[in-house]
Amino acid sequence: MTDTQHTKKVYNKHAKSYHKKIKSKDNIWHKYIEKPAMVSLIKKDIKLKKVLDLGCGSGPFVKKLYCLGAKKVKGIDLSEGLIEIAKKENPKADFVVGDAKKTRYKNKEFDLIVSSLMVHYFKDLRPLFKETSRILNKKGLFVFSMHHPVMEVSSKLGIKKIKGSLLKPYFHNKKYNWTLNEKMKMIAYHHTFEMIINTLNDSGFVIERILEPVAPKIVKKLKKSTYDRTQKRPSFLVIKARKIK
Ligand SMILES: C[S@@+](CC[C@H](N)C(=O)[O-])C[C@H]1O[C@@H](n2cnc3c(N)ncnc32)[C@H](O)[C@@H]1O
């Protein structure tokens, strides 16, 4: 089984519980940290735009995209289970099941492509960024979030006793295993900043802004351990890139 087939299988198996968790009040990572960072990077550029949510999952971001002023929103995801939920929850938007690195969208179909927490599932970023560039309009924006490159290599996972440096090896493109919502066994890939930035550049993009969001004060009351962790170590990398070629 390929890693993509594995990802699809796990999201399909847990589609309902994953969706429930994403929508729940205690989803601190999305609600207070990652999504606000995404919104801050798109809010000035979304009005009346044709938007694609790449790796949209069950579509929790789609209503927000419309609220921010998008003219039309489409979504694509690997998981049939999540797309089924997305269709029910967002009748105004168009959803399809498919792989983000090889879509059936037309050249230059979108003005803005957003992608929340999907990019780290790709070992090779080139086909994904090339496809994004193909379907994006001239001077269009690609705004995405992913696991921060330092998150995985600074985590204590897999290290029994930490002596000296907290960092695990950084210069590689290897897979790592992690558990989502306590039961979903996921495979993701580590990327260095050099890989991310240069691959974007080779695919015709320049970076306009990056964010490394931390939890706001309210999270201290809701879950102090998450608040403390995000003040010390980065969790997400959020990038706003513009197509220039
Ligand atoms: C962490 S979830 C995020 C879902 C949604 N963007 C959100 O913010 O709730 C990652 C999503 O990426 C999707 N995904 C992973 N690899 C993909 C691929 N190659 N093509 C399309 N979707 C993919 C998964 O099926 C999953 O729904």
236 or 167: which carries more pLDDT confidence? Answer: 236
Summarised one tens digit per residue, pLDDT across range 39-62 is 999 999 999 999 999 999 999 999
pLDDT of 133 = 98
Q: Find the domain containing 112 and state its range.
A: 3-148+192-243
pLDDT of 155 = 60
Residue 41 lies in a domain: yes
Pocket of ligand 1 contains residue 201 by CB under 6 Å: no
Residue 170 lies in a domain: no
Please give the share of the chain, as a percent, with pLDDT higher than 70: 95
Say if residue 165 is exposed, middle or buried (CB neighbours under 10 Å; 0-12, 13-18, 19+): exposed
Contact present, 138 and 110 (Cβ < 8 Å): no
pLDDT of 163 = 55
| Atom 8 of ligand 1, residue of closest alpha carbon | 116
Residue 38 lies in a domain: yes
Sign of CA dihedral 150, 156, 157, 163: positive
Amino acid identity, residue 105?
Y
Residue 156 lies in a domain: no
Per the structure, the count of domains in the chain is 1
Sign of CA dihedral 241, 216, 54, 148: positive
User: Mean pLDDT across the stretch 89-111?
Assistant: 98
pLDDT of 229 = 86
Residue 53 lies in a domain: yes
User: Mean pLDDT across the stretch 10-34?
Assistant: 95
Q: State how far the Cα of 111 lies from the Cα of 131, in Å rounded to an integer.
A: 14
154 or 174: which carries more pLDDT confidence? Answer: 174
User: Mean pLDDT across the stretch 172-200?
Assistant: 95
pLDDT of 165 = 54
Q: State how far the Cα of 61 lies from the Cα of 67, in Å rounded to an integer.
A: 10
Residue 158 lies in a domain: no
Expressed in angstroms and rounded, the spacing between residue 228 Cα and the centre of ligand 1 is 27
Q: How many CB atoms neighbour CB 207 within 10 A?
A: 14
pLDDT of residue 26 exceeding 90: no
The DSSP 8-state label assigned to residue 120 in this structure reads G
Average pLDDT of the residues of the chain = 94
Summarised one tens digit per residue, pLDDT across range 216-231 is 999 999 999 999 988 9
Expressed in angstroms and rounded, the spacing between residue 18 Cα and the centre of ligand 1 is 11
pLDDT of 245 = 85
User: Mean pLDDT across the stretch 200-228?
Assistant: 96
Ligand 1 mutation pick, 2, 6, 7, max ligand atoms within 8 A of CB: 7
Query: Residue 104 has which token pair?
Result: 């059936």
Contact present, 201 and 15 (Cβ < 8 Å): no
Order of strands, sheet of 72-77, starting from the edge strand that comes earlier in the sequence: 94-97, 72-77, 50-54, 110-116, 136-147, 236-243, 205-211
Q: How far is CA 159 from CA 96, 166, 170, 230, in A?
A: 41, 9, 15, 20
Expressed in angstroms and rounded, the spacing between residue 77 Cα and the centre of ligand 1 is 6
pLDDT of 154 = 79
> In CATH, what number is assigned to the domain containing residue 207?
3.40.50.150
Residue 138 lies in a domain: yes
Expressed in angstroms and rounded, the spacing between residue 113 Cα and the centre of ligand 1 is 14
Helix (H) or strand (E) segment spanning residue 189? strand 184-189
Sign of CA dihedral 108, 109, 112, 113: negative
pLDDT of residue 127 exceeding 50: yes
End-to-end CA distance of the chain: 36
Expressed in angstroms and rounded, the spacing between residue 168 Cα and the centre of ligand 1 is 26
Residue 181 lies in a domain: no
pLDDT of 159 = 47
Pocket of ligand 1 contains residue 37 by CB under 6 Å: no
Q: How many CB atoms neighbour CB 136 within 10 A?
A: 26
Closest CA relative to residue 86, chosen from 66, 62, 110, 69: 62
